[in-house]
Structure 1
Amino acid sequence: MPTMNRRTLLGAAAATTAFTATAALSKPDLVPPALGMAGKSVLITGCSSGFGRLTAEDFARRGAKVFATMRNLPRQEAEELRQIAEDDGLDIHIIEIDVTSDEQVAAGVAEAERINGGALDVLINNAGISTAGPIEIQDMEATKLMFETNVFGPHRMMRAALPAMRAAKSGQIFNVTSQLGRVMLPGFGQYSPTKFALEAMSEQIAYELVQHNIDVTIIEPGGYPTKIWANANALTEKLLSRADPVHLDGYTAMVDQLRAGGNTGGDTDPADVPRAIAEIIAMPAGTRPLRKEVHPGAKPQMAINKVCAEVQVGWLGESPYGPWIRAVHHA
């Protein structure tokens, strides 16, 4: 068995949220014309940091009307983004949405649609969390929070945004999962189970929305240096502090390494994610990929994605669902 350390446990994990954006983003005059977003309305969850924060500013600089959502307003991150928007003349509207709240999701999406004057063009479900540690020590508090955020949150958001999108007969949904939504890393808690669930839900709804001319794309990042690592460490420490020794005692080496902490996600560029999403938005409707693997390094899920697409088409391609299946997989 390989030596357990924080890098072994977390090094291959995908960052799903959080990174305080400090790198310079593309200015409007540097945006390729084909990737401009003038006239597009985009709602993004989890914009306090990470991929969400980067995507909100980047897309606004591309000309989009951006609804940057985050929980626990007022907060410093919201004020910083609001100030950037004011200083640079960006069309950014900050709305409070905690994706674990039915009420906030419904109210937040309704407010975005009111400001927009109708259906959203793009919904990006980016908000997510992680708590590390073997499955046995994941108590119900940690497990429920992970599923509420990573699975039920995107479900709530899609249910809130889809009626108007369906009425408009257009729209795009991006669900940010992870390469760990297709492959598993021991010791990473309920992260893979939640991301596997989001992958399945995203693929199913992609088939169902073909008839409504709404595209769904699953974004599968690899590891990036975002704030998810610090957030995961904090959640993991809380879990370990309340865990029953009867569970902890079975994983002494792994738990010791989790307590040591240390990983930051490497030195890759988190802006890869908004760039990938922008490229897909620019594609003609009906031609966009179901899945997009995003990372400059290894992408072990690609073989799984290929086989699964072949299986779906082979199994259902000639069934009554065939037109939907083939449309999603471009088969």
Structure 2
Amino acid sequence: MQWLITGCSSGLGLHLARMVLSAGHKCIATSRNPDATPEYVVEIEKLGGIWVPLDVSSNNLENLIQEITEKHGFIDVLVNNAGFGDGGPLETYSTEAARSIMEVNFFGPMRLMKALIPHMRERKQGVIVNVTSAVFWAAHPGVGMYAASKFALEGLSESLSGELAPFGIRVIIAEPGEMRTKFVDTDKVSHVHVPEAYKATPAEFVLNFITQRDGKQDIDPERVANAIVQQVVSSPNPDPPLRLPLGTECLELLITKTSTLSKLADASISLAKDCDFPKN
């Protein structure tokens, strides 16, 4: 199988590229600026992979993907991994910054899927892996726009799962918690402007916690990469999971959310049913 993985300059993307190649598959690793990580480019190419520049927010992204497929052939597995995190109270978060994070974390993956789905559909095979976040199970204060970008990708992925199943295309939502990578720009987070009104509130607490946890996160990106690869290449499952909670953090958030939703459903029975037209 030939994989195309975005965001390979560090962290999960780099570990995925290594894992895919070590498993004997073909890999097209991409990053916005390969010149910034020449040592990783050389490493992946020595392992037999291909590294190409790809900015998922580029205006000509579709043309770039077409050039890649024309030169290197069909993509069997697309991994939408490229993304970035950002934070701050919504009232201080600029519309420009909001558009930027949505462009990279949501619209980039959406455009890549739109470009590659026709080829997968015609061949009646393919796997799309969308890397979201444990934040889907708990959108903490102070990271609202990041959560929004991941919620959007989750919703699109869930819909696509049923939409593409008739064509033999599988969609996987990978939900890692905080991994020990360079994903969090602690300098940027530590300089987020927190208005006086938000001092000593949950938003400031979360932003401080993220900064303090840098380098101490519990989740190993190499193990996460291995889990994703194993899910993609494992024997066909008649009922494959859509979502992959990756890491104890994500699992605990999922369990808590499940309990909360169950209580909400029980408490909402009368209210919800009262909104229907009366039945004859």
TM surpasses 0.5? yes
When residues 102 and 81 of structure 1 are mapped into structure 2, their CA distance, relative to the original with a 3 A threshold, is: same
Q: What does residue range 252-267 of structure 1 map to in structure 2 within 5 Å?
A: 252-253=199-200, 258=207, 261-264=211-214, 265-267=216-218
- Check the 8 A contact 2:178/2:218 in 1, yes or no: no
* Counterpart in the other structure of 2:67: 111
Structure 1 residues 87-140: Cα deviation after superposition (integer angstroms, max 9, x where no partner): 4xx22111111111131x2233223322333x2110000011111222222111
Specify the alignment match of 2:43 in structure 1. 84
- Name the residue aligned to 2:242: 290
Q: For 2:135, what is the secondary structure of its paired residue?
A: helix
Match of 1:100 in 2: 57
- The match for 2:177 is 222
| Residue 248 (1) aligns with residue 209 (2) | no
SS where residue 88 of structure 2 aligns? coil
Q: Secondary structure at the match of 1:288?
A: coil
Structure 1: give runs of 5+ residues left out of the alignment. 1-39, 241-246, 312-331
SS in 1 for 2:70: helix
Question: What CA distance in whole angstroms lies between the structure 2 residues aligned with 1:46 and 1:61?
Answer: 19
2:274 corresponds to: none
Cα offset, 1:234, TM superposition: 4.0
**1:253 deviation in Å?**
3.3
Q: CA deviation at 1:303?
A: 6.2
**Is the contact made by 2:44 and 2:51 (CA closer than 8 Å) also made in structure 1?**
no
Q: Distance in 1 between matches of 2:157 and 2:94?
A: 26
Query: Once the 2 structures are TM-superposed, how far is the Cα of residue 62 of structure 1 from its aligned partner?
Result: 1.0
Cα distance in structure 2, aligned partners of 1:86 and 1:189: 38
> Which residues of structure 2 form unaligned runs of 5+?
266-280
Kept in 2, the 8 Å contact 1:44–1:124? The answer is yes
Is contact 2:2–2:76 with CA below 8 Å preserved after alignment? yes
**Contact 2:79–2:129 (Cα < 8 Å) also in 1:** yes
CA contact (8 A) 1:215 1:286 kept: no
The share of aligned pairs that are identical, in percent, is 34
Contact 1:213 1:286 in 2 (8 A): no
Structure 1 contact 99–154 (Cα < 8 Å) conserved: yes
Please list, as runs of the form range in 1=range in 2, the aligned pairs for 1:1-331 lying within 5 A after superposition: 40-75=1-36, 77=37, 79-87=38-46, 90-103=47-60, 105-117=61-73, 119-229=74-184, 231=185, 233-236=186-189, 240=193, 248-253=195-200, 258=207, 261-264=211-214, 265-283=216-234, 284=236, 287-297=239-249, 299=251, 300-302=253-255, 304=257
The count of aligned residue pairs is 256
* Aligned-partner Cα distance in 2 for 1:256–1:199: 26
Q: CA deviation at 1:201?
A: 0.6
Give the aligned CA root-mean-square deviation in angstroms.
2.6
Displacement of 1:219 in angstroms is: 0.4
How big is the shift at 1:239?
Answer: 5.2
TM-score between both structures, scaled by the size of structure 2 = 0.82
- Preserved contact between residue 134 and residue 175 of structure 2 (Cα < 8 Å): yes
Give the TM-score normalised by the residue count of structure 1.
Answer: 0.70
Other structure's SS at 2:68 match: helix
- Deviation of 1:209 after TM superposition, in Å, equals 0.4
Task: Specify the code of the residue in structure 1 equivalent to 2:22.
Answer: R
CA drift of 1:286 comes to 5.3
**Helix, strand or coil at the partner of 1:228:** coil
Asked if the contact 2:78/2:127 (under 8 Å) is kept, the reply is: yes
Measure, in 1, the Cα distance between the counterparts of 2:97 and 2:127: 31
Structure with the greater relative contact order (CA < 8 A, sep ≥ 6): 1 or 2?
Answer: 1
Equivalence for 2:277:
none
Counterparts of 2:119 and 2:237 in 1: how far apart (Å)?
A: 18
